[in-house]
Each structure stands twice: as structure tokens, then as C-alpha cells.
Amino acid sequence: MKIYIGADHAGFKLKERLKIFLIKSKYSIIDLGNKKFQKNDDYPIYGYKVAKAVVKNKYSRGILICGSGQGVCITANKVNGIRAALAENIKDAYLARRDDNCNIICLQGRYTSLKKAKIIIKKFLETEFKPLKRYKRRISEIKRLE
């Protein structure tokens, strides 16, 4: 599975550490920035880049990180076909995939430890969408709004 990852300055350190974890876990990683730490960069740039890449590759997933996780989540969800979710814990990641077929997970760079981030991402990447009628209906309703 191809994983697109991006972060602003507040998520840069966590992103770099997660890349190592993901590579060791045998995932194909594409870092869409920022490639170097810049304290005044802006999260919408990276949220948009990752979202556009995920939409183009149906079987890929995305990981976005900013200070609160909210900014990149809002940005990613502006792209048609993206269902991004902020995950503060393993249950959030699990339900985002199982019920909502989310294709991007967003993390809080300022408040999520590396250990916790690894657990959240592992659950997100390993959980399959459960295609129950009600879940599929809800996703179809979202698509109609795009």
C-alpha cells in the first residue's frame, strides 16, 4: 500500500519519525512535505498535496500532521473524494476506517507522542472498511454533496 504523508512545522518532527516506522513496516512512503523544517510554513499546502495524491491513487492512504490536526483535516476534506478524520486515539482510527472508509488520518503534532501515533496509524492502516448497507448509504450521501 502506498502512503502519502505531509506535515507543517508543528508536525514535522513526528512525520520524520513516523516515516522510519512506516518504512520498517514495509509500506511505500511518499513524503509530500515539508521536506525540511520551516517554522513559518502553512499546513494547507501539505494537506492539499496529500489529499490530491490520495484521490489519484484509489488504493493509497494519507497521513497528515499539524499542531492540532484540525487544520490539515479541514484542508484535506475540501478535496472531492477525500474522507479525512482526526484521530486522537486508536478507537477514532478504527471507526474512521471501519464505518466511514476514511482514506486520510490526521494527527496532532503538538499533543501526540510517537508511541501513540504508531498505534493509531497501525490501526488505521490495518482496518478494512465494513461495507454494511448503512455505511455505504452514508458515504453515498457524502459523495452527493461533493
**At a CB cut-off of 8 Å and minimum separation 6, what does 145 contact?**
none
- Which amino acid appears at position 140 of this protein? S
What is the CB neighbour count within 10 angstroms for residue 24?
Answer: 8
102 is catalytic: no
State the catalytic residue, choosing from 66, 73, 102, 106. 66
**At a CB cut-off of 8 Å and minimum separation 6, what does 15 contact?**
5, 6, 7, 31, 63, 65, 109
Catalytic residues: 66
